[in-house]
Every structure is written in structure tokens, then in C-alpha cells.
Structure 1
Amino acid sequence: MKKRALIVGGSGLVGHRLLHLLLEGQHYEAVVAIVRTPLQLEHPKLTELIIDFDELEQYEQYFNVDDVFCCLGTTIKKAKTQEAMYKIDVEYPLTIARLALQQGARHFLFISAMGANPDSRIFYSRIKGIAERELCQMPFESISILRPSLLLGDRQECRPAERWGGASFKALSFLFTGPLRKYRAIEAETVAQSMYLIAKDDPKRIAIYSSQQIEQYAK
């Protein structure tokens, strides 16, 4: 039986690749994409909603899906303030999860980050940990949390530091073996593929996938 999916963050590094998997695969008969700006993409399965994320509640009827893929995330450079970053990385995902749960969604898949911990002194790791903690208290049938390391891939936006870091990690990947393997950078395509496959397998539990587990799942 084919399902309905909702994706948030479909223009991002992982979300862009995941959206194409959702549309091109046979697992979903309809895909709703919630975005801030047009995707410049047309497909018979796709319903695109260009909205103000501060008004998510006004679109609750579109959250009537089976699976929700949350690929939201930003950087302090782009968000400008910690408050704005917290809103994008914590408040929006939790609002989306709550609305989807109310509309009957069963599986929530969320991209977090390596080192996520609500008690971390590092702001980014702390807010990802807070989002995970609150999400895991929601009574979905399945919650899948992916914690990738540094993401590799061509971004639509320019992030010189991340591009330099990604190139360095790729060039030195041979050093990340044994206990250090978990820190190896990972391709965005791999994360998207794993996210899609996890949804197809439909695990009835809360599961957290490390970067190494994400890589293994894609294979």
C-alpha cells in the first residue's frame, strides 16, 4: 500500500536529494514539500507549499501523511542570532512533529547531528539534543533520528568554511579508521538514501543512527 510523505527542508543539502528519491521511488503516491522559496520543480506526485514557518498551524490539513521527513537546519552565520537558530533547529521541527501527530502521521524522521546532547556546552550540539529529547516524548509509532558527521556535497548556498572542511575531510579520509571512523565525513546523498530506506523498512520504535550506521544502512 503506497503512502503519503511530507518533507520539510527539501531545498537543503540532504533534503534536495531526498525529495528526488521520494518522487522517483515507488513507495509514495504523494509528496508534500513545505518550503520558504519555490523549488523550481514539477512532478505529478508533488504538492509544494510556500509558507511562512511562523504560521505552520494554518496549514495543518497538509500534515495528514504517513511519514514526515524533517531536514531543517541552519548555521549561526546564516541565522545571525542564537535565538533565530533555536527557532529553526528546535521550534519549527517540534511544531511540525506536533501537527503531523495530530493529523495521524506514524513515522517521524529527523536529521540531527553527531554529538547531539541537551546538556552540551556547545550551542549547536545542545539545541540538537533538546530537539531530540522533546521529539522522543511524542507518541509516534516510529521515530528515526539520524546523526551524520560533517556533510559532503554541493550546496546551493555558499559556505566556504564548510566547503574547505569537507574537502579536507575527504582528502584525509584514510586517517579516519578504527575508533576514528565515526568522525569520517559523509556524503549528503548517503544520508538521503539511508533516510529513504529507513522509512521503507518502517521500524516500530525510536532509533538513533550514528554516522557510521547511516553509511552502512545506505549500502
Structure 2
Amino acid sequence: MSVKVILFGATGMLGRGVLRECLRDDTVESVLAVGRTPLGVSHPKLRESVQSDPSDLTLAVARPLAAANPGMTFVYVSGEGTDSTERGRSMWARVKGRTENDLLELPFRAYMFRPGIVQPVRGVPSKARISRMFYAVLGPLVPLVRRVAPNLVITSEAFGRAMIAVARPGTEVPGHILRPADINRLGGAPTRHN
């Protein structure tokens, strides 16, 4: 069964990884990328919608999508350290936790991806300068960390494959909150590519 994807944030490192895997995977029928800037990518499956200000997008987009298509799958990229109790000290962790909780109350299948350390691979760049500096300096250590603590590190490729996997009907998913070990398990299996 084919999958149709709407992708927000395709210009960032994780978004680029997801886009790359969607365009390569023959079970993905089409991709609509929504963002502030054009991607500079051309592909028969890809359409773009450039929005001047897609801020505060998650719930503003999720609610009408859930009403229009309660059978769909919605994937939210959260982060390790997100506070589902909404009572912790960190403001960002509480806000992410609240967003996760609100999404889980909507009538579609919702999955929260909480990646840990992400290793960009296959030419997927990091957009943020600080991240580029981090990977330039500490990037060579990431494979070592992966060997020592494989459940802390994911690749941009595994991240993209895992997102496609949860969108595919029939995929066995371990729960609604997916951490690096879950993402690696779902994204590690080879997929058929064009």
C-alpha cells in the first residue's frame, strides 16, 4: 500500500533526511513539503508549498487534519527530555510534553519521535551553524558513541525510514512515544528503493 506524505520542516537536518528517504522509497506515492523557503530539489513525487510564516504549526495543522482524515498517521518530532507530565523545570520540555499530550488526544494515529544524538549521513546537511560546528568537531566520535551506546544515536537515514514505517499500515509500532532504540529498530530494515 502506498503512502502520501505531508512534510513540514524539510529544510532542516531531520527534515532533509526524511525527504531523502521518502523520495527514494517506492512505497511513498507523493510528498508535499511545506516550509518557509524553497527546497531547491526537483523530483516527480515532490510538490512544495512555501508559506511565509508557518510558525506555531503543529496543533494548528493537526486539528483540521484529524477532523478531515481520522485514519491518517501524524508524526511529531519532539526530543529526548520531553516532559509528558508537564510539571518539570524546563519550559521547552513542558511545552513539548503538552503538545505531545494534545496530539495523542486527537482521533488519528499519533507518534512522538524523541531522537537523541542524530548523525547526519548521505550528504544530509545540518542547517544550524552550531550543529555544523558540533559535527565538524565531535562528528568523528559519533561512530564510537554508536558502538558503545547504540541506543543513544540514530542516523538521519534511519530517522527517515522509521517515519515512513510508522505511516505504513500494518507496521508493528512499540507505542506512541519512540526513542532512539525504537527509531533504529523501525528504520534499520532496508526498504525497496527506486
TM-score band w.r.t. shorter chain: 0.7 to 0.9
Q: Tell me the residue number matched to 1:99.
A: 64
CA contact (8 A) 1:107 1:202 kept: no
Closer/same/farther in 2, CA of residues 213 and 2 from structure 1, 3 Å limit? closer
- Report how far residue 20 of structure 1 moved: 2.1
Using the alignment, how far apart are the partners of 2:105 and 2:147 within structure 1?
A: 38
User: Is it true that 1:187 corresponds to 2:155 in the alignment?
Assistant: yes
Distance 1:128 1:168, change over 3 A: farther
Residue in 2 that maps onto 1:76 = none
Which of residues 135, 142, 147 is equivalent to 1:163?
135
Equivalent positions of 1:103-142 (< 5 A) are 103-104=68-69, 106-117=72-83, 118-140=86-108, 142=109
Counterpart pick for 1:173 among 139, 145, 150: 145
Alignment of 1:21-40 (within 5 A): 21-40=21-40
Contact kept, 8 Å, 2:165 with 2:171, in 1: the verdict is no
- How many equivalent pairs are there? 179
Q: 1:2 to 1:188 in 2, by over 3 A?
A: closer
Identity %: 23
Question: 2 CA distance for matches of 1:36 and 1:26?
Answer: 27
**Aligned to 2:176, what secondary structure does the other structure show?**
strand
Superposition TM-score, scaled by structure 1 size:
0.70
Q: What are the ranges of 5 or more consecutive residues in structure 1 without an aligned counterpart? A: 55-87
**Structure 2, unaligned runs of 5 or more:** 189-194
One-letter code aligned to 2:99:
A
1:15 aligns with 2:15: yes
RMSD (Å), alpha carbons: 2.6
Report the 3-state secondary structure (helix = DSSP H, G, I; strand = E; otherwise coil) of the residue aligned with 1:108. strand
Q: How far did residue 25 of structure 1 move?
A: 1.8
Higher relative contact order (CA closer than 8 Å, sequence separation 6+): 2
State the alpha-carbon separation in 2 of the partners of residues 4 and 149 from structure 1.
27
Secondary structure of the corresponding residue to residue 186 of structure 1: strand
**Counterparts of 1:123 and 1:194, CA distance in 2:** 28
8 A Cα contact 1:150 1:166, kept in partner:
no
Once the two structures are TM-superposed, the CA of residue 102 in structure 1 deviates from its matched residue by: 2.9
| 8 Å CA contact 1:7, 1:34 repeated in 2 | yes
Q: Report the counterpart of residue 192 of structure 2 in structure 1.
A: none
Greater share of helix residues, 1 or 2?
1
